[in-house]
Structure formats: structure tokens, C-alpha cells
Amino acid sequence: MKFNKDILKGFIIYPLGDLIAQIIIGEFHLIRLLVLALIGGFLYSYEIGKWFAFIEKKSKNAYSKTLLAVLFFNPLWITRHFLFIEFSMFPEKLFSLSSIELSIETAFFSSLKTFIASIIFTIIANYIIQNIIHLKYRFMSSAIFSALMNIYYALSKMYF
């Protein structure tokens, strides 16, 4: 059985970006780091790798490839990421339907604002990832970009 190196990259890069974000906002949550390591290593490495391979197979047009990547990392994807963070820090919220609903609503509107505010930068980054970087390195490049976006989220939380 061949080991997928993207699992290791996701296991390291996603929590590293989140750790930098936590340091910026003056927090540290070990469970949050562990959850993001597992999510980055097992879920994100799988789904993002499959999506990028699909994009490569289905489209040769640079703008189409960029649009497909941007559409994947939409406000719902960001909401899910925010919820992984929220529930890893406050697992007791999982036992209250009203807390779950409020967390989803808050995460969605935060992700929508974040998505809109960063759309130009995101389009440029995804254009580079999809059209300049070889498929073999796209997951790692996307994970590094996501880690940088985590830092952006932390800064925007502090200053906006």
C-alpha cells in the first residue's frame, strides 16, 4: 500500500497555519490543533486532492479551472472549517440544538463576509495554484494558501 504524502502535508500545514493564527489572537487550544491536524490530514487531503484531479481532467481552460477551485472553497466550505474549530474548542455545544444552530448561523455569516472580502486575492491565488503549479504540488500549495488565509481570518477578527 502506497502512503499518500498529502496526508502528512495536511496533518502538518493546516494546524501550523491555525497555530500562527492562534498566537496572533493570543490563544492556544491543543485540541483545536489536533482536530485540524486530523481534518487536514484525512479529510482535506482526500477531498481537495480529488477535486483538483477532477479539475485537471475536466478543464484545460485557465479561467474555468480557477473558477472551479474558487467555487470549491466557497462560504459553505469555510463555514464547515469554522465549525470544526468552534466545536473542537467548545464540544459541549454539540449537545444543544440551539447552540448548534447559532454556531452554524454565526459561522456562515462570518465565512460569507470573509469570502467576499478576500475574493480578489483568492481568485489570483487559485489561478496560480490551478494553472502554474503542477498537479502533484497543488494540495500542498492550497494547504499553504489556506494556512495564510487562517492568519488573515485571525487578523480580520482582531481589526474588523
Q: What is the pLDDT of residues 56-109, one digit of tens each?
A: 999 999 999 999 999 999 999 999 999 999 999 999 999 999 999 999 999 999
DSSP symbol at 78: H
Q: Which domain holds residue 52?
A: 5-159
Domain count, the chain: 1
Instruction: Please tell me the predicted confidence (pLDDT) of residue 35.
Output: 97
d(CA 17, CA 22): 9
d(CA 34, CA 14): 10
**Is 160's pLDDT higher than 60?**
no
Instruction: Please tell me the predicted confidence (pLDDT) of residue 10.
Output: 94
**How does residue 155 score in pLDDT terms, banded at 50, 70 and 90?**
confident
pTM: 0.90
Neighbours of 100 (CB within 10 A): 15
